[in-house]
Chain A
Amino acid sequence: MAADLSEAVKKSGNGGNPLSQKSESLTKDAFRRLLKNRAAVIGGIIIILLYLMMIFADKIAPYDYATQVLSEQNAVPPWLTKLFPVMEPYAKPPVDNPNKYILGADYVGRDLLSRIIYGSRVSLIIAIIGPLISLIIGVLYGCIAGFFGGRVDNFMMRIVDILYAFPGLLFTILLMTFFRTALSKPDPGTFGEALSFLDNSLGGMLFIIIGIGLTAWETMARLTRGQVLSIKEKEFVEAARSIGSTDSRIMFKHILPNIIGPLVISETLAIPGYINTEAFLSFIGLGVNPPTPSWGSMISDGSKVVRTYPNQTIFPALMLALTMFAFNFLGDGLRDALDPQMRGKS
């Protein structure tokens, strides 16, 4: 019997000593699983490329995103006219060089390709900061509510209930308009002026981020609270308490590290939602300030002339879809890798 066992151990190939088996750390293991997932890897590569494109936008983009060449309005290069024969009657390539604009120019003669490249900024920045804001607020809020329980919990969760009753998008729009107009003429030397200045230099992006971030944390708060409730009665919390740890120490040193993983994953899965919301806001004209490009506002401008110049809609739309694919694939892969039991759940 014992011989069988040692035989089996030998076969498993770790030198016959089961204790010498190197245990893989959870992160390493997860990373290995992630690399096996082809879709996730492709998504990750696309995301890296997109961020590189965003960082080096001013090096890659052939033209400035705001320079208008009115004589070259709606210019279309010849290869696009071949691809979309609908444009035949309307399409005029620029006179000096027909292929001057690879993807064409928009209704005031701005290069589409350059605008698409610069437009990635908004979506890709929202994809990082939106989840970050919602994670910070939501996790703190949920932690406090779940940890203290009782009346505090009750009160805090009722507030979340109320915020839940707000139709999300309408509330985002309302908040955004509130911040934007309230700080449109700030008193000099105040915090408001700093915010307003920051917003202007970001092309109006700051208040979109604030609006989206402030409405998106409720789900995170509920999730965190649930996790905290399930973990705070565990022995190790009791042990920490018995040696006199403070509440905040227990919360941040003992509970938080144990629950943060799934929370981050669920926030990763929400990223396409943030990108979508920003595109939506820009589409209805409440997004970034012109002439700052954003894929949403480009699609909106383009869809007005989709009958004559489909290229003005289709290319930014494809970029938006590509970005969302990539984040969806990566998010799915991350979730499957870190939490194999959750595989396939949306």
Chain B
Amino acid sequence: MGRYIIRRLLYMFLVILVVSVITFGLMHSVPGGPFDKEKPLPKEIIANLEKRYHLDQPLPVQYLQYLKDLAVPRISTTKFPNSIDADALFKFKIGKYYIRWVNFGPSYSSRSRTVNDMLRDQLPISIQLGFLAFSVAVLIGMPLGILAALKQNSWVDYTSMTMAIFGVSVPVIVLGPILVWIFGVSLKVLPVTGWGSKPPFALGIFSTVHGWKYWQYAIMPMFALGLSSSASIARLTRASLLQVIREDYIRTAREKGLRERSIVVKHALKNSLIPVITIMGPMFAGLLTGTFVTETIFGIPGMGRYFVNSITNRDYPVIMGTVLIYAIFLVLCNLIVDLVYGFLDPRIRFE
């Protein structure tokens, strides 16, 4: 198991490395640079700017420099200056050494903000939203699916499955504005834009604001984003549970005289979860990127806007940073899914 995880992590590392090379190559092969403006800047200024951000060097050198900033910790006995170049995601002190590690680089479109700032201030909001939407998906979808399967062909089944098809067909960009209009504009019970918590965040991710002050902003976006995923979870849970419930070992359990509840919970449910878990990994990652649109609709200050703008502005470090962070999330999700398999089905061996 331990060896399996280590091997997977190494493989993940390699995959991420390749992803970074491809992204780097792709974005630098797009014509135009970050300093092309409607009204062209003087040549000297562009040259200076490019020198400042090391864009005058050959691409492989730039790439290696980027990797070095990202991976190699900087250690010094004196305090680091408070400049953009010395910024990093992790700043700490061991003994008399100041250590700075993981620097995603500056943002070309802002003089004072770095990609690290973005990851510190905006990413947590996107993660909170993505996680809440994921909870909505699981907490609504699974019970609905289980209920539908246990009462197969009853009105419960038909209603919830019809609802599920409708749910799958209503994307965020449809549900979002309609929710805003109903609850924000007509009924005026929820604020239309904004997000409850602001940086700095507890432990880098968690909100420091609690209660209604937080939830009044979160309710609409999390439902808008999570509802369609909850529908697909419901359908999958139902289908898989229906299949499992017809297996021989369920009949055996029933013959033994076990209570219906323990048959469902202990015997059927656990086994029926495998296909559901399979889609949860990519779904979580999908919800994280799905936050982009949700953020636009509900005016949430998350990562979305920065990524979209960074592409049109050729803000290379922002593009790289976002793609890498989300790619890491994606592969981590898949790893977790594979590990959960082993827990759900001990026959699956890690090798």
Q: Give A contacts to B, CB under 8 Å.
A: 39, 86, 161-162, 164-171, 173-175, 177-178, 181-182, 184-185, 272, 276, 279-280, 283-286, 296, 299-300, 302-303, 306-307, 310, 313-314, 317-318, 320-321, 324-325, 328-329, 332, 344-346
Contact = CB atoms under 8 A, between A and B. Distances in A.
Given A86-B186, A284-B296, A328-B165, A162 B18 contact: yes
A166 B19 contact: yes
Q: How large is the interface on B (under 10, 10 to 19, 20 to 34, 35 or more residues)?
A: 35 or more
Contact of A307 (B170, B172, B185, B307): B185
Interface string B198-241: 00000000000000000000000000000000001001101110
A207 to B, nearest CB: 12
B242 interface: yes
A272 B308 contact: no
Contacts of A344: 161, 235, 238-239, 242
Nearest to A175: B26
Contact of B173 (A184, A279, A346): A279
A328 B319 CA distance: 34
Contacts of A272: 168-169
B16 A165 contact: yes
Interface stretch (B119-127, B323-331, B339-347): B323-331
B351 to A, nearest CB: 16
B171 A320 contact: yes
B30 interface: yes
A174 B180 contact: no
Contacts of B27: 174, 178
10 contacts: A162-B15, A162-B22, A167-B327, A174-B23, A174-B323, A181-B31, A280-B173, A303-B177, A306-B177, A314-B181
A280 B327 contact: no
Interface centre among A167, A276, A313 (most CB of B within 10 A): A167
Contacts of A171: 323
A196 B331 CA distance: 35
A328 to B, nearest CB: 5
B230 to A, nearest CB: 12
B2 interface: no
A168 B169 contact: no
Nearest to B286: A168
B337 to A, nearest CB: 12
B292 interface: yes
Interface string B44-57: 00000000000000
Contact of A169 (B168, B289, B297, B329): B289
User: DSSP class of A's interface residues: helix, strand, loop or mixed?
Assistant: helix
B171 A276 contact: yes
Given A284-B292, A324-B169, A299 B174 contact: yes
Contacts of A345: 235-236, 239-240
Given A284-B293, A328-B168, A177 B30 contact: yes
B42 interface: no
A86 to B, nearest CB: 6
A156 to B, nearest CB: 14
Nearest to A310: B181
A66 to B, nearest CB: 23
Contacts of A276: 171
Contacts of B186: 86
Contacts of A169: 286, 289-290, 292
A272 to B, nearest CB: 6
A317 B173 contact: yes
A301 to B, nearest CB: 11
Interface in B154-198: 161, 165-166, 168-174, 176-178, 180-181, 184-186, 192
Contacts of A181: 30-32
B115 interface: no
Nearest to A317: B174
B55 to A, nearest CB: 17
B285 interface: yes
Given A283-B293, A346-B235, A328 B169 contact: yes
Nearest to A219: B282
Contacts of A328: 165, 168-169
Contacts of A166: 19, 22, 323, 327, 330
A299 B172 CA distance: 11
Nearest to B232: A346
Contacts of B15: 161-162, 165
A307 B161 CA distance: 33
Contacts of B112: none
Contacts of B22: 162, 166
Contact of B296 (A177, A283, A325): A283
A268 to B, nearest CB: 14
